[in-house]
Amino acid sequence: MEDRPQIGYSKKVMDHFMNPRNVGDFADPDGVGTVGNPVCGDLMQVSIKVEDDVITDVRFKTFGCGSAIATASMVTEMAKGKTIEEAERITRSDVADELEGLPPVKMHCSNLAADALHKAIEDYRARKKEVAAAPG
């Protein structure tokens, strides 16, 4: 098999699609981000566990195409072990680059993965503020 199968996906994309990492969610997440693309119908959720501002675990659930599954799997691998600030700097193009590219028509999938991670971080920060502001 050559580096890029005829259908236009890299081996890394195919690996993360066929063997997705970190699928699922947590009973008590520290942050959850959900995003969707109404044009293609993809829906993605990323949940994070955080200790001392480090993402110790991250999971995803997605309803979408193979590229959506692969990008969600990749973003969880990229974020795990990073500080909140480091994970927040993961961009849409970083996800696609780590997967060794996506067909142009599928680039929106890398957008969903990075955006869901950023939403989970926003949710984590909002929850943290609520706890800090709670009386007593």
Q: Which one from 109, 114, 116, 117 is the annotated catalytic residue?
A: 109
Helix H or strand E encompassing 66: helix 66-79
Distance CA 129, CA 52 (A): 15
Q: What is the DSSP string of 12-61?
A: HHHHHHHS-SSBS--SS-SEEEEEE-TTT--EEEEEEEEETTEEEEEEEE
State yes or no: is 65 an active-site residue.
Answer: no
Q: Is 40 noted as a catalytic residue in this protein?
A: yes
Contacts of 121 (CB under 8 A, 6+ apart): 31, 33, 48, 84, 87, 88
Say which of 4, 26, 34, 40 is annotated catalytic: 40
**Tokens standing for residue 30:** 């520290």
Active site residues: 40, 109
